[in-house]
Amino acid sequence: LMIGQVVAGYAITRKIGGGGMGAVYYGEHKTLGRPAAIKVLLPQFSNNPEVIQRFFNEARSTGLIRHPGLVDIFDFGTLPSGEAYLAMEYLQGEALSSRLRRTEKLSRDGILHITRQLALAVGAAHNKGIIHRDLKPDNIFLVYDEDLAQGMRAKVLDFGVAKLTDHGGEQNAFQTNISAMIGTPR
């Protein structure tokens, strides 16, 4: 992906993060001016149908849930170059993992505030038959929210390895191979 390139109506202005499977860019919608985070799957993974299915699973999962404790995904697709992308809500704040490294100890009230929000978000996912399977401090983002008592909202990120079930608990087409290692084992 190149700076200046337009993805789903968003002009890419800079890289803001990345990991082992993808990179995240800041984009601004050309007409609306709305900011977005554009997550792009690395080229070496964009040829693997199973990886692409899991990547797009993130968009489908969060689209089914619609909860303030989850990042909102606006669009997804494939770039002309072949890489898969997600266009999602741009969050300002920090990952819980960063906060934990920076802060010696969270207050009791802070821990309860974050835990309650996570329970509500994950509970909303479970009510839709979706199991996150990679809940960890790196996948919890803290954003400023003046409407909440603690002034922050915890948002659950990265439903890329989520399991979708029907409401009776049976797996659907996004079945995981029994021997597959997913999520973050540690």
Helices and strands, number each (H, E), in the chain: 3, 11
> Angle, nearest 10°, between helix axes 108-127 and 49-65?
100
Measured CA to CA, the distance from residue 180 to residue 64 in angstroms comes to: 25
134 catalytic? Reply is yes
- The two tokens of residue 112 are 């309860």
Measured CA to CA, the distance from residue 143 to residue 138 in angstroms comes to: 14
Pick the closest to residue 113 from 71, 91, 143 (CA basis).
143
Cβ proximity of 175 and 134 under 8 Å: no
Q: How far is CA 17 from CA 41, 87, 133, in A?
A: 12, 14, 22
Identify any residues that bridge with 48 across adjacent strands, giving them in sequence order.
none
Q: Considering the candidates 72, 75, 109, 134, report the single residue annotated as catalytic.
A: 134
- Walking along the chain (186 residues) 10 residues at a time, the average pLDDT comes out as 86 88 92 93 87 81 84 89 91 92 88 93 88 86 88 84 56 42 45
- What local confidence, expressed as pLDDT, does residue 182 receive? 44
- What local confidence, expressed as pLDDT, does residue 137 receive? 92
Q: How far is CA 36 from CA 86, 88, 124, 159, in A?
A: 10, 5, 24, 18
Q: How far is CA 4 from CA 7, 14, 42, in A?
A: 9, 9, 18
Measured CA to CA, the distance from residue 111 to residue 131 in angstroms comes to: 22
Measured CA to CA, the distance from residue 39 to residue 49 in angstroms comes to: 17
Measured CA to CA, the distance from residue 174 to residue 33 in angstroms comes to: 35
